[in-house]
Amino acid sequence: MTDIRFDVLTIGNAIVDVIARVEDSFIAREKLVKGSMNLIDEARAEQLYAAMGPAREVSGGSAGNTAAGVASFGGRAAYFGKVKKDQLGDIYRHDMRAQGVHFDTAAATDGPATARSFILVTPDSERTMNTYLGACVNLTAADIDEATVQASRVTYMEGYLYDRPEAKDAFRRASDIARAAKRLTSVTLSDSFCVERHRDDFMHLIRSRIDIVFANETEIKSLYQTQNFNGAMEAIRRDCAVAVLTRSEKGSVIVRGNETVEVPAHRVAKVIDVTGAGDLYAAGFLFGYTRDMPLKRCAELGGLAAAEVISHVGARPEVNLKAHAAAAGLL
């Protein structure tokens, strides 16, 4: 069997986040659904960028944020994602590697530009995302390096990949390689609208190929088409070996077989921007899980990482999470 070189391999859309603070009136004027993720074309991207005012650019993408979080905890992280060989693509690659993440996916030399997500943060700290997928949709099965998957304890994939057939094929190839190598597979449901688009595919995937599923309360209720969280929790308990369910200020619930672990949210002095909360929660949880820590401690590490990232603008940690967790008595 291949030796393990990485704790967590994440696969997802490589996106540069363009973050701006806006009033609720801006969301209404642009006819956006607050708190949602909307896919937009290049023309809409240019229009939004012109309208949104001052912004800052930081490397993001859900699975990329998770990989960066794992590395910040001191874990060994790898990442598959597609950028173009352009200015934003070069920045993205530099940022990932500077975080200590192994990132060798070949950049596209032609086609659309590196993806960007315009993240509009309202005064209540809610974020509304408008994403131009650009080059990231060109991730294909050919970009899945078999040796890296085989050498990773857990392969973690973002649900957004299911929006493109080619990326879906990459997703399936990675899960097949991981399972053949007796490694763990994991998925995050990403967004309730994403669940609506791919509910049947997600159900089949979770029941047949996934060991650990991550979802927030809205996503898991959408998956099972219910308004009852406890009902959805019992349903996912039957369908997946481990389910990690986040509930914002209510904390999180982990179910594994007959086991149910409830952990309160980590305290936050002030919520600034909730972008990346779920991504960083997954990073902390998987860091603990790949070290065989108890589920409660995995959830506490996830909660700590989520709390750090929502205390500032941007979806990646601004402190060393290993030192931060040690100071909190969690490591």
Beta strand pairing status for 152-158 and 127-132?
unpaired
Q: At what angle do helices 229-239 and 192-209 cross, to 10 degrees?
A: 30
Cα separation values, 182 from 70, 201, 203, 298, Å: 21, 23, 22, 22
Beta strand pairing status for 15-21 and 56-59?
antiparallel
Rounded CA separation 51/280 (Å):
30
- Residue 47 phi/psi, 5° resolution? -65, -45
Report the candidate in 143, 167, 149 with the shortest Cα–Cα distance to residue 62.
Answer: 167
Rounded CA separation 129/121 (Å):
9
Helix or strand (DSSP H, E) at 278: helix 277-289
- Spell out the residues 6+ positions from residue 143 whose beta carbon is closer than 8 angstroms to its own: 80, 82, 105, 106, 170
Q: At what angle do helices 295-309 and 62-72 cross, to 10 degrees?
A: 110
pLDDT at 330: 96
- In the block, tokens 């009136």 appear at 25
pLDDT at 163: 82
Q: Which two tokens stand for residue 118?
A: 């315009």
- If you ran DSSP here, which 8-state letter would residue 3 be given? P
First to last CA, the chain: 30
pLDDT at 264: 96
Rounded CA separation 190/89 (Å):
23
Quote the pTM value.
0.90
Beta strand pairing status for 259-263 and 77-80?
unpaired
pLDDT at 1: 65
Rounded CA separation 116/13 (Å):
10
pLDDT at 44: 93
| Secondary structure (3-state) at 10 | strand
- Per-residue pLDDT of the chain in tens (331 residues, 90 and over written 9): 679 999 999 999 999 988 899 999 999 999 999 988 888 998 898 899 899 989 888 888 999 999 999 999 999 999 999 999 998 899 899 999 999 999 999 999 999 999 999 989 999 988 898 989 899 989 999 999 999 999 999 999 999 888 888 888 998 999 999 999 999 999 999 888 889 999 999 999 999 999 999 999 999 999 999 999 999 999 999 999 999 999 999 999 999 999 999 999 999 988 888 888 999 999 999 999 999 999 999 999 999 999 999 999 888 999 999 999 999 999 9
Look at phi and psi of residue 264 and say left if phi exceeds 0, alpha if psi is from -120 to 50, else beta: beta
Report the candidate in 220, 226, 225 with the shortest Cα–Cα distance to residue 240.
Answer: 220
pLDDT at 273: 81
